[in-house]
Homo-oligomer: A and B are copies of this chain.
Amino acid sequence: MSEENIKLLKKAGLKITEPRLTILSLMQQNQNKEEVTHFSAEDIYKMLLEKGEEIGLATVYRVLNQFDEANILIRHNFEGNKSVFELAPEEHHDHIICVDCGKVFEFNDEVIEKRQKEISAERGIKLKTHSLYLYGKCNNIDTCDENNK
């Protein structure tokens, strides 16, 4: 699997370095595992520390920015001040964020996607990207149940 990551970095014109490979595989690990898949720079930095990796916070930021530009991952600005990142998915999706427990759900809706294009076109705007975040309270039993009564 590391082979593919090396290809990814090369395609982005980036040298193959340990921090980049480490961060990349770290984000891939939690994929497809019902795990959290959205991380802040700080999150990633801490995970690296726990693994005993010697990677500076500045490097984490630099790598994340490079990955963002190379479309290897996507930057989100949920409510709050900091950016969170997720691996660029095969297919676009939008997000539902639980305001109580912070859990992130994903969805993709054809109807909404279509309307967005129509609305932009009507106004003569060339749609580049969009961000749609729904904020609500989920029914996570552990953390959110009280709030749903």
User: Contact residues of A with B, CB < 8 Å?
Assistant: 77-81, 96, 98-99, 105, 107, 109, 111-112, 115-116, 119-120, 123-139, 148
Choose from B81, B107, B127, B132 the contact partner of A132 (Cβ within 8 Å): B132
CB pair B135 A132 closer than 8 Å: no
Pair A139/B125 contact, Cβ less than 8 Å: yes
A110, closest chain B residue (CB): B115
Chain B residues within 8 Å of A116, by CB: 112, 134
> What are 12 contact pairs spanning A and B, CB under 8 A?
A77-B78, A98-B125, A99-B128, A105-B123, A107-B123, A111-B112, A125-B136, A127-B134, A128-B137, A130-B135, A131-B133, A132-B133
Known: A77-B77, A99-B128. A134 touches B120 (CB 8 A): yes
Copies of this protein in the assembly total: 2
Q: Which residues does chain B contribute within 8 Å of A80, judged by CB atoms? A: 77
Give bound CA distance, A107 to B118, whole Å: 12
Q: Closest approach, in angstroms, between the C-beta of A67 and any C-beta of chain B?
A: 17
Residues from chain B with a CB closer than 8 A to the CB of A124 are 138-139
Among B79, B128, B129, B134, contact of A119 (Cβ-Cβ < 8 Å): B134
Q: Give the docked Cα–Cα distance between A120 and B137 (Å).
A: 10
Tell me the complex Cα distance, A138–B81, Å.
27
What is the minimal beta-carbon distance from A114 to any residue of chain B, in angstroms?
9
Other A-B pairs beyond A126-B137, A130-B133, A131-B131, 17, CB < 8 Å:
A77-B77, A81-B81, A96-B120, A98-B125, A105-B125, A111-B115, A112-B115, A119-B134, A120-B136, A125-B137, A125-B138, A125-B139, A128-B135, A129-B135, A130-B132, A131-B135, A132-B133
